[in-house]
Chains A and B, each alone.
Chain A
Amino acid sequence: MTYNIAATQPHLTDQRPHKGKLTQAKKITASGLSEAEAIERAKGGDAESFEALYGLHKRRVYSLCLRMTGNTAEAEDLTQEAFLQLYRKIATFRGESAFSTWLHRLAVNVVLMHLRKKGLPEVSLDEALEPQHDDGPKKDIGARDIVLAGSIDRVNLERAIESLPPGYRIIFVLHDVEGYEHNEIAEMMGCSIGNSKSQLHKARMKLRDLLKLSRAEKAARH
């Protein structure tokens, strides 16, 4: 995978429509329609407008699916399914939230439903709750080692996220990357808020291990 290192372009860091801080800038589609206009037309069945909405939101939806599944082919399937559901349901969009929020939530549900159907442990937090002795994060008791803060290369962060066990990855992506709150995650995943917090902590601990390891390897090479 190739990565866009936003760290080198600090002026771009505020432009991501982070949940809760959505950019309200007027998005213009390739055909010159505003997003609001495209939504209204798409509700009426206008295919061009739907295509325009796809163009505006495909990247975010696909990136979400890719980060949550770690698999390109699955991410493409899920992106397709999310937009098909969008087409079927757009008439029900009332504007109570921003359209991107609504679509994003729809995409998350598509991914979670897919993972549930697969019956993989990705969505069973019970398994993730048990200490994973082989690859679980290690408790950091009184040891001081490589300082991490201020040193993360976002390329490595993406790679580290990709290599997280699926259960950790989902929670981490939903909370820290996409900005969902624990109560929302708990509702989506069918677990308690405490579980969600616990798993997020383990995901971050695991990432800390992976990133420190990566940093140590880098240091050893130089």
Chain B
Amino acid sequence: MNCQQFQEVLPYIIESGGNEEEEAHLRSCPSCAELVRDLRYIAEQAKLLLPMHDPNPRVWNNIEQSLHQEGLLPEGRMSRQGHTMTYPTPTQSKSWTPIGWLMALAALTVFAAVLVNYKPSLPAAQSTAQNSSTQPAQLATDDQQVIGQMSQEDPGVRRAYEDGLREADAYISDAEQAVKLDPQDAVAQEELVEAHAQKEMLYQMAAARSLQ
């Protein structure tokens, strides 16, 4: 057996081993032996490659949006607020509303008297420290100040502003890079203006909210 013959069958025997003739060639041919050593070494090293990259946080945002649009989730964000919200299962759709209305009707006679002293046992909104597995980028100081002024707001709303500001910062960064690459590109410049406009909108709305 020569090297050419050996290398033609090599794809099919490299893992399982060859017949006597093939093994004999491997023992006697330094070049083919080195080739096999290299290929096995590459395969071993590949097994050690770790998953190393986290996706951009926008991937999660898109997943949420898609699920809302498909009606698999009701309006509003997925709960990161500590509310234990139960959503309809993906394979069935249930609605609490008819059952809730029936219950409300049945409880109407005692509803007024009891509700005065009844404290709904809805879980209190927890801090947004929960579920930090996505580890979003740190907000700039100005952005943090804006968020800080919204401490009285609904946690879901605060979270929406935080995400929006991160997204706007990423947009600005991308647009600045595009302008840097080609300062003559009018579209890139327009994109930069739009990116800043997005951030400005968020600031204006946050300011209006804190004034209210």
Contacts and interface: CB of A to CB of B under 8 A. Distances in A.
B14 A63 contact: no
A52 interface: yes
Interface stretch (B59-67, B142-150, B201-209): B59-67
A176 B10 contact: no
B212 interface: no
Interface stretch (B50-58, B166-174, B178-186): B50-58
B23 interface: no
A157 B42 contact: yes
A22 interface: no
B49 A207 contact: no
Contacts of A52: 131, 133
A31 B90 CA distance: 22
A177 B46 contact: yes
A47 B67 CA distance: 10
Interface residues of A, number: 72
Contact of A59 (B11, B48, B54, B89): B54
B25 to A, nearest CB: 12
Contacts of B3: 141-142
Given A45-B90, A46-B86, A201 B63 contact: no
Interface of A: 1, 3-4, 6-7, 12-13, 16, 18, 29-31, 43-48, 50-52, 54-56, 58-60, 62-64, 66, 75-76, 79-80, 83-84, 87-91, 139-144, 147-150, 152, 154, 157-158, 161, 172, 176-177, 179, 194, 197-198, 200-202, 204-205, 207-208, 211
